[in-house]
């Protein structure tokens, strides 16, 4: 589904990604864990075409996407839920969802996906005419995920979905990520500081440090790794 090959990317003189290589197979949940400033968000933004790739390559289903505009990358089946949700506070829940389907013209499919997200998150159906800005943090995360799903992505990029949420809401969000993966056959790339929860639902994981992948393995092996336990799980 996704291959990153020796990708370098950054901001001015800051080289945030210093040769990142990773692979995600169709149907997988893969997580990228790491400390603050390690390069997790930059990895997702390089895939989405928001931060330009300076060297290396990024392939989706075998096709090069580095250098394409972000809307072209969405059209190729890759949607991102950004850190901090970034929903449109002055638009209603329904309008936020409509924007997620902006590039689509298949009305029947859009209606089907609307039913799917309302089944996943019934609270959004109830709040459909409310302004996005009036939702709780957890509901805004649900809306941001639903907005991304309205593009019917094959690869969903999630940036710190648990950030700032209460433990009960975090459990619910992670349960639903698993459900999206299983029921909707969506491949998931999950960036998280909450390494324990992320590895708990992932098939495989990568660990990033200072813009470089330092470890990759099956999620259960990473959970059992003394190095990961000490640095990221507080054990």
Q: Judge whether 83 and 41 are in contact, CB under 8 Å.
A: yes
Q: Is position 42 an interface residue for ligand ATP (rule: CB under 6 A)?
A: yes
> Which range binds ligand ATP by CB under 6 A, 38-46, 60-68, 95-103, 115-123?
38-46
- In this complex, which beta carbon is closest to ligand ATP, that of residue 62 or of residue 234? 234
- In this complex, which beta carbon is closest to ligand ATP, that of residue 124 or of residue 199? 199
- Residue among 108, 163, 184, 148 at smallest CA distance from 174: 163
Rg from Cα positions in the chain: 17
- In this complex, which beta carbon is closest to ligand ATP, that of residue 11 or of residue 105? 11
Tokens describing residue 147: 């907005």
Q: Is position 36 an interface residue for ligand ATP (rule: CB under 6 A)?
A: yes
DSSP state letters, 183-225: HS--EEEEEES-HHHHHHH-SEEEEEETTEEEEEEEHHHHHH-
Helices (H) and strands (E) in the chain, counts: 10, 10
What are the E-state strand segments in 61-102?
Answer: 63-64, 78-81
- In this complex, which beta carbon is closest to ligand ATP, that of residue 38 or of residue 65? 38
Q: Interface residues for ligand ATP in 76-105 (CB under 6 A)?
A: 83
When binding is defined by CB under 6 A, the residue of 40, 66, 127, 152 that contacts ligand ATP is 40
Q: Interface residues for ligand ATP in 148-207 (CB under 6 A)?
A: 193
When binding is defined by CB under 6 A, the residue of 39, 49, 138, 205 that contacts ligand ATP is 39
In the complex, the residues that contact ligand ATP under the rule CB under 6 A are 11, 14, 16, 34, 36-42, 83, 193
């Amino acid at each position: 589904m996704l291959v990153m090959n020796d990708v370098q990317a950054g901001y001015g003189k800051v080289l945030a990604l210093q040769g990142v290589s990773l692979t995600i197979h169709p149907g997988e949940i893969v997580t990228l864990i790491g400390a603050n400033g390690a390069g997790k968000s930059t990895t997702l933004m390089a895939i989405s075409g928001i931060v330009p790739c300076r060297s290396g390559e990024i392939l989706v289903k075998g096709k090069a996407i580095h250098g394409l505009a972000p809307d072209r990358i969405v059209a190729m089946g890759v949607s991102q839920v950004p850190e901090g949700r970034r929903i449109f506070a002055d638009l209603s829940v329904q309008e936020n969802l409509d924007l997620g389907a902006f590039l689509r013209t298949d009305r029947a499919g859009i209606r089907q996906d609307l039913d799917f997200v309302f089944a996943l998150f019934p609270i959004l159906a109830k709040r459909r005419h409310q302004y996005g800005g009036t939702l709780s943090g957890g509901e805004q995360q649900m809306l941001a995920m639903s907005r991304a799903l309205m593009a019917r992505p094959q690869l969903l990029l999630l940036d710190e979905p648990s950030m700032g949420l209460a433990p009960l809401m975090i459990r619910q969000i992670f349960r639903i990520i698993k459900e999206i993966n299983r029921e909707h056959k969506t491949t998931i790339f999950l960036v998280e500081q909450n390494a324990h929860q992320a590895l708990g639902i992932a098939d495989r994981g990568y660990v990033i440090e200072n813009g470089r992948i330092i470890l990759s393995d099956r999620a259960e092996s990473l959970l059992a790794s003394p190095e990961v336990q000490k640095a990221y799980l507080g054990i």
